[in-house]
Structure 1
Amino acid sequence: MSRGDEGRDTYREFTEAVNMKPVELSKWLETDESKQVGWHKGGRSGGGESVGHESGRKIINLLRRKRAELSEGDYRHMRKVVGYVRRHMAQRPSGDVRDTKWRWSLMNWGHDPLKR
């Protein structure tokens, strides 16, 4: 597979996994729910931003850029997002997920499982 094919596949998978618009994701990242979920590099007591929250900010940046402007590092992050969304979706809890940390965590990564 050529480099272009791989990039095209990654871009397509990323845009399928991320179903939130940049403005929508940006507003979500401002909420208390968004800030209370996820793994923190320094542990919970280490404070700071969770990995997913940081990823959400990167996703907004990626969505706002033209494909021609994307770097290899950008594509690496896109693949990370796709992997996270796929793994997390496979762990969907039963019942109403509207107000769950499972959903909130996915939303930090740009995917709202309640959207069709």
Structure 2
Amino acid sequence: MADTLELDALWDEFHRVVNMTSQELEAWLRTRDAGQESEPLPDQAGPPLGRHVLAILQKRRTDLTDDDIQTMHKVVDIVTSRQDLENEPEAMDTRRRHQLMSIGHDPLKPPK
């Protein structure tokens, strides 16, 4: 388990890059997986990483597991590496935006 200072920094960074609320992410995951003929159960909608991000958003910091901490590191790394600092968010292609939204980051959402 990470020490308290590292965990605090990771918690803050995770919540900075994951700028969608748990309700927004849950709705997005259900919408993305809904087909014309079927819709998955709410707790099975979206990719496993997106579902894990949603579960973390619904936890308190004191309830995090080692697996949660690894996922948080992974999400921070993914979002940070895919941010397009050269272009305005509107210039981002839809596919890349949707991939980021599936892990809780909407690049078109204004910063908090």
Q: Same fold (TM over 0.5)?
A: yes
Given that residues 81 and 109 in structure 1 are in contact (C-alpha distance below 8 angstroms), is that contact kept between their aligned partners in structure 2? Answer: yes
Q: Distance in 1 between matches of 2:21 and 2:60?
A: 15
Q: Distance in 1 between matches of 2:103 and 2:72?
A: 10
Q: Distance in 2 between matches of 1:68 and 1:95?
A: 34
The alignment's C-alpha RMSD in Å is 2.7
SS of 2:47's equivalent in the other structure is: helix
TM-score by length of 2: 0.76
Residues 1:112 and 1:80: Cα distance change in structure 2 (over 3 Å): same
Spell out the pairing of 1:85-104 with structure 2 (5 A cutoff). 85-90=79-84, 96-97=90-91, 100-104=94-98
Unaligned runs of at least 5 residues, structure 1: 36-48
Runs of 4+ in 1 over 6 A off after TM superposition: 91-95
Given that residues 62 and 74 in structure 1 are in contact (C-alpha distance below 8 angstroms), is that contact kept between their aligned partners in structure 2? Answer: yes
Q: Percent identity?
A: 34
Q: Distance in 2 between matches of 1:5 and 1:67?
A: 12
Equivalent in the alignment of 1:7:
7
Given that residues 18 and 109 in structure 1 are in contact (C-alpha distance below 8 angstroms), is that contact kept between their aligned partners in structure 2? Answer: yes
